[in-house]
Structure 1
Amino acid sequence: MPAAQPLAAAPDRPYHHGRLREAALAAARQAVATDGHQALSMRQLAQQLGVAPSALYKHFAHRTALLAALADSLHVELLDRLLATQREEPQAWRAMEVAARTFLGFAQAHPLLFRMMYDDEVINDPDAENRLPALQATYDTLLALGQRAWPGLDRASVQQRLIGFWSTLFGFATLRTHGMLKSYMVGAWQQGVLEDQVVATALGPRPEAR
C-alpha cells in the first residue's frame, strides 16, 4: 500500500496571523472605489476573503462600522499629506493652498471613495466622533495652520474662515465628482483655471505682509 502523501500546505491568506481586519479594509477599499459603497456587502466581502461572515463581524460590528473604519483610514492618508505639506512648506498661507489642492486632487482621483467618506451613513452615525478620530485631527491641524495663515484673527474668526474654506472646497469637489459642472457652466475653461478660482475663493484675501 503506497504511503500517504502529505497534505499540501494551504496558501497563505491575508487574514492569517491576525491580518483579517487589514485585509477586509483593503478589499473594501477596492470594492468601494470600483462600485461605490452602496453596493458593499459584508457577506460578499467575507466570501471574497474566504472567511465566514461571523469572522468579519468580530472586527466590525456592522457594515457602517466597516465603512467608518475605511473612511478613517482615508482621512489618515489626507492628514498625513497635510502634515507632510507643513514640513515641506513653512509658509502657512502656501501650506493652506497646497492642502486645498491636495483635497481636491484626492476627490477627483477617488470619486467613489470621496462620496463614501462624507456619506450620511458614515459622517452622521451616532458614534461617528469615536470612529473618525482622524477627521477631528485634520480639523485641529488646519485650525492651527489657519491661525498662522490668517494672523490677527482670533480663534473664533479663524474657525469661521475654516468653515468657508471647507464649504467652498467640498462644494466644488462634490459638484465635480457628481458630474454637475455642465458644459454651459464651464465653457472651454481648463480644469486648472476652475481649480485656481476655487482655491482663491476658499482662502479669501491674503493678509498684508507685515
Structure 2
Amino acid sequence: MPRTRDAYHHGDLRRALVDAGLAATRAQGTTALALRDVTRQVGVSPNAAYRHFADRKALLSAVAREIQDRMAEQMRARMPAPADAAPRDRARLRLRGVGLGYIAFAVAEPGWFETAFFGSGGAPEGVLHDSHDRLPPPFALLVEELDGMVGAGALSPERRDGAEWACWSAVHGFAELVVHGPLRGQDRERIDRWAERVVDDIISGIV
C-alpha cells in the first residue's frame, strides 16, 4: 500500500524522492524524471514533494549532485598509485585514474552520466559551482590532481593554466562518442584500450 505523507519522518520523504529520481534517471536519463511520476512511485501527492523541492529542476539538481558524488567515488577507486613510485610518476598515475574513472563511469552508467552535468534540457548544470557553491566532485578531483602534478614537478605552472578544460574536453568528448556517438556498441575491450590512449595522449599533451 502506498505510504501517505504522514508516514514519513522528517527528511525521509526527501530521501525517498531522490532515490526514486536516481532509479528513473539511471534507467532512461533525464527525460524519465517527472515530479508527478516520482511522487506517485513514492506514494505521496505532488504537493507533498513541494515541501522539499520547488519544482522538477530542484529535484533534478539534487539527483545530479548525488550522481556526481558517486561518480567521484568510482574515479577515486582508479587513482591509487604505488607507494614506492617517484612523486612525478605517482602524480601522473593519479591523474590518469581520474580520466579513466570518468570514462568508465560514463560507459557503465549512461543514464546517470547524462544527468550528472547536463540534466536540464542539455544545459550544463553546476559546471563550476552548483547551488550549494561547491565544485562538482568529479571536476574538483581533476583540479586537485592537476595541482598535484604541479606540486610533484610533473607539470609546470605555465602549462597548468587552463589544463582542466583540455583534460575534461578530451575525456568527456570520448565518453560522449561511446555513449551516444559512433563508438556506441563497440567491444568493451576496444573501448578500454582507446580510453587509455585518449587519457595518455591528453596527459602527454598538457605536460
Distance 1:203 1:13, change over 3 A: farther
Within-5 A mapping of 1:1-210: 16-18=8-10, 19-83=12-76, 88-89=80-81, 91-119=90-118, 121=120, 123-124=124-125, 129-131=130-132, 133-135=134-136, 137-150=137-150, 151=153, 152-154=155-157, 157-181=159-183, 190-205=190-205
Q: Cα distance, 1:80 vs. partner? A: 3.2
In 2, the alpha carbon distance for the partners of 1:21 and 1:75 equals: 18
C-alpha contact (below 8 Å) 2:76/2:98 kept by paired residues? no
Q: Cα distance, 1:60 vs. partner? A: 1.0
In 2, the alpha carbon distance for the partners of 1:206 and 1:124 equals: 26
Q: Cα distance, 1:202 vs. partner? A: 2.4
**2:87 is matched with which residue?**
none
In 1, the alpha carbon distance for the partners of 2:135 and 2:77 equals: 15
Matched letter for residue 115 of structure 1? E
Give the 3-state SS of the residue equivalent to 1:17 in structure 2.
coil
TM-score where L is the length of structure 2: 0.77
C-alpha contact (below 8 Å) 2:106/2:113 kept by paired residues? yes
Distance 1:206 1:39, change over 3 A: closer
Greater Cα offset, 169-178 or 18-27: 18-27
Q: Cα distance, 1:157 vs. partner? A: 3.2
C-alpha contact (below 8 Å) 1:168/1:202 kept by paired residues? yes
Give the 4+ runs in structure 1 shifted more than 3 A. Answer: 10-15, 80-86, 137-141
RMSD of the TM alignment (CA)? 3.2
Matched letter for residue 110 of structure 2? P
In 2, the alpha carbon distance for the partners of 1:107 and 1:85 equals: 14
Distance 1:31 1:191, change over 3 A: same
Structure exhibiting the larger radius of gyration computed from Cα positions: 1
Distance 1:54 1:145, change over 3 A: same
Q: Cα distance, 1:103 vs. partner? A: 0.8
Greater Cα offset, 144-153 or 90-99: 144-153
Could you report, residue by residue, the CA deviation over 1:145-199 in whole angstroms, capped at 9, with x for unpaired residues?
A: 2123243522x6314222111100000001110042279xx89x82222112111
Distance 1:65 1:44, change over 3 A: same
Q: Cα distance, 1:206 vs. partner? A: 8.4
Matched letter for residue 17 of structure 1? H
Distance 1:181 1:97, change over 3 A: same
